[in-house]
Chain A
Amino acid sequence: MTIDAYLAELERSLPRISRRRVLAEAQEHLRDSAATHRAAGLASPDAEAAAAADFGPVEIVAARLAAERAVRDTRISTSVALGAVAFFVFPLYVVPENSLPPAPWVEKPRDIFVLQLVSVVIWLVAGALAAASAAVAWTRWSHLAAPILLTASVAIAGACAVVAAIGARWVALTPATPNWPLAAGLALGCLVACVAAAGWALAHRRLLLHA
């Protein structure tokens, strides 16, 4: 097997996240190893094959590398999720006054009040789960962080969905204003947040496999 073929197989076997550093280090290592084998008298193709054999079977190397990188990726993901809940979901979505057109009413309609209460409760759950996953990711029980984070991402998506309902109701009760583009942007934002949470959960299913 040539070095390029080995690296291509390793690339296919590794999770997309943090692949670059691993492949760059493996490439340098294999080049050094092949050079040592050539210096010992092997022809170039044999030297590359020997270097690949010394590095080890791709599936074993990839599994161990992925498992180790998964811990680091979990820490990054949990911190990002916590930041998203604190600085994005809460001010922009859970508090609709921050992003929707000015309210035309003096007293908030009861259905909007109830929906907002529900969104705050879901946000609190999402926040608690995100904080728990971020804390657990730095302990020896880091393998528990991924399932907690997946639950948090579902809660984040849930909070966004409830706020989308608030936004729709809010805009329906608000006379046409120049803030329509803002309301449309908010609805689109909710959709993007839900898709992002679902996409994140799908992309990180490997973390669960390594748990």
Chain B
Amino acid sequence: MRDALKGHVDLLLLSALDEKPAHGYALVETVRERSDGALVLAEGTVYPSLYRLERRGFVASGWETVSGRRRRVYRLTSSGRRKLERERSEWHAFTRAMKAVVT
């Protein structure tokens, strides 16, 4: 399943951030929990994806103290929210098309 995630990591991270700002580990856990353990992100490679999204202005981050520990918390920017909406629409169109052919 991990190989199947290639190319979809950005969408998963943006979707996980849509609910609320979160740090890297919380994002991995959110994806795992929402998918009932079916989608497990390669943890160490989540950060390069987050840095790329930040560089492109889709997420912003800052150090915050959470439960007494200093963590880098990521949040969606308005441009990230627009990207998420676009990618969601494309994903729904893709899955509808695949379903029509495969089933």
| B45, B47, B71: the one within 8 Å of A22 (CB) | B47
| B29, B42, B70, B72: the one within 8 Å of A56 (CB) | B42
**Does A28 lie at the interface of the complex (its beta carbon under 8 Å from any beta carbon of B)?**
yes
**Contact across chains for A71 and B45 when beta carbons are under 8 A apart:** no
- Contacts A21-B72, A28-B71 given: A60-B45 contact, CB under 8 Å? yes
- Contacts A25-B24, A25-B72, A29-B24 given: A69-B51 contact, CB under 8 Å? yes
| Chain A residues whose C-beta falls within 8 Å of the C-beta of B45 in the assembled complex | 56, 60-61, 64
The distance in angstroms between the C-alpha atoms of A33 and B70, with both chains bound, is 16
**Contact across chains for B47 and A65 when beta carbons are under 8 A apart:** yes
- Contacts A68-B51, A71-B55, A72-B55 given: A61-B24 contact, CB under 8 Å? no
CB < 8 Å A-B pair total? 56
| Chain B residues whose C-beta falls within 8 Å of the C-beta of A25 in the assembled complex | 23-24, 47, 71-72
| Chain B residues whose C-beta falls within 8 Å of the C-beta of A69 in the assembled complex | 51
| A24, A36, A56, A71: the one within 8 Å of B44 (CB) | A56
The distance in angstroms between the C-alpha atoms of A54 and B43, with both chains bound, is 6
The distance in angstroms between the C-alpha atoms of A22 and B47, with both chains bound, is 8
The distance in angstroms between the C-alpha atoms of A72 and B50, with both chains bound, is 13
**Does A67 lie at the interface of the complex (its beta carbon under 8 Å from any beta carbon of B)?**
yes
Instruction: Tell me the A47-96 residues at the B interface (CB within 8 Å).
Output: 54-56, 60-61, 64-65, 67-69, 71-72
* Chain B interface residue count, Cβ-Cβ cutoff 8 angstroms: 18
Cβ distance B26 to chain A, nearest Cβ, rounded Å? 8
**Does A26 lie at the interface of the complex (its beta carbon under 8 Å from any beta carbon of B)?**
yes
**Does A4 lie at the interface of the complex (its beta carbon under 8 Å from any beta carbon of B)?**
no
**Contact across chains for B48 and A56 when beta carbons are under 8 A apart:** no
**Does B34 lie at the interface of the complex (its beta carbon under 8 Å from any beta carbon of A)?**
no
**Does B69 lie at the interface of the complex (its beta carbon under 8 Å from any beta carbon of A)?**
yes
| Chain A residues whose C-beta falls within 8 Å of the C-beta of B43 in the assembled complex | 29, 33, 54-56
Cβ distance B77 to chain A, nearest Cβ, rounded Å? 17
- Contacts A56-B42, A71-B55, A72-B55 given: A28-B47 contact, CB under 8 Å? no
**Does B86 lie at the interface of the complex (its beta carbon under 8 Å from any beta carbon of A)?**
no
**Does A97 lie at the interface of the complex (its beta carbon under 8 Å from any beta carbon of B)?**
no
**Does B25 lie at the interface of the complex (its beta carbon under 8 Å from any beta carbon of A)?**
yes
Instruction: Tell me the B1-48 residues at the A interface (CB within 8 Å).
Output: 23-26, 29, 42-45, 47-48
Q: Which are the 8 A-B pairs with shortest beta-carbon distances? A: A61-B44, A56-B44, A68-B48, A32-B25, A55-B44, A64-B48, A29-B25, A68-B51
